[in-house]
Structure 1
């Protein structure tokens, strides 16, 4: 009976948190994106693209980004070559929502949950910015592997980072961690 209550509590916390965060994010997107005569993607997508640009500039690459004139994306350039689009899905917010939902559903103490949520979100953001830059550079150098890079390798990086954070959370901070004497 206790296992069933634990599973039900997890599912309720998971779905309530998930739908709440997705709802907030959807409202944010409606408020911040513009389509029509002028296109402007959300500020977080612009920020991720600009941070990916700064990441590349730090390592000496001639990269820049600009708002796409006819869609909700940022163009990523290497030199004068338009290499990639940074769209809303590239900003990792949906992945961060999934990460936060899981750690809240498998909660630990309030303090540990808040600190881990902040540190984990920051970590995922940094991994994602590096991922956007590295993907763009690899697509520039190896355009023939674009599908493999974009569809397999780079989702594996961000989801692998989330999975690693989840494992650490459950083993070290969640109330479901095993007692030390087991």
Structure 2
């Protein structure tokens, strides 16, 4: 048994680190969401911010846009040119994906400074691509509403998760200690 533990020590260390970091960050995020229920931003500040930024970007592209609180659920309704197209829920704000990204990078940590800056730059990139994804999805739903299923469940998740996968592979191959 000891020989097996020694042989698979890096794998066990990765799994344990990933689970601890992911669990801790997820608990902290859920605590934040619970605290947000009482706040002035609906449904929570990050989702509110994503909704606001989505509206601003859509208006830059010439679309008359409103982001309205959903009366029956914690989400923001996306209304483009008077058409209710979609809703931005907490799961659309990118935070859960960033937590997943961070957990993996920390589990394969390199030097502290490199790890910290990679997480910072990667998180900003994921947030930005996610925001652009919501804008393009909204435009796509406005012009091609019959493609909703394909756009929402295949194309745009592939973009955001594909980006995270590429960031992970770049991290492991360039900066993590495991590569050394």
Class of the TM-score when normalised by the shorter of the 2 chains: over 0.9
Partner residue in 2 for 1:160: 162
- Count, aligned residues: 175
Root-mean-square deviation (Å): 1.6
Aligned pairs (5 A) from 1:101-180: 101-177=103-179
Q: Distance in 1 between matches of 2:172 and 2:166?
A: 10
Aligned pairs (5 A) from 1:38-49: 40-49=42-51
Q: Which runs of 5+ in 2 are unaligned?
A: none
Asked whether the equivalents of residues 41 and 48 of structure 2 are also in contact (C-alpha less than 8 Å), the reply is no
TM-score normalised by structure 1 residue count: 0.91
Q: Distance in 2 between matches of 1:64 and 1:118?
A: 31
Q: Which runs of 5+ in 1 are unaligned?
A: none
Q: Deviating runs (4+, > 3 A) in structure 1?
A: none
Asked whether the equivalents of residues 39 and 68 of structure 1 are also in contact (C-alpha less than 8 Å), the reply is no
Partner residue in 2 for 1:85: 87
Partner residue in 2 for 1:15: 19
Asked whether the equivalents of residues 104 and 113 of structure 1 are also in contact (C-alpha less than 8 Å), the reply is yes
* SS of equivalent residue, structure 2 residue 88: strand
Q: Distance in 2 between matches of 1:57 and 1:87?
A: 20
Tell me the alpha carbon deviations over residues 69-92 of structure 1, each in whole angstroms, 9 at most, x when there is no partner.
221001111111111100011011
Q: 2:98 aligns with which of 90, 93, 96?
A: 96
Q: Distance in 2 between matches of 1:3 and 1:73?
A: 48
Cα displacement (A) at 1:3: 4.5
Aligned pairs (5 A) from 1:23-42: 23-33=27-37, 40-42=42-44
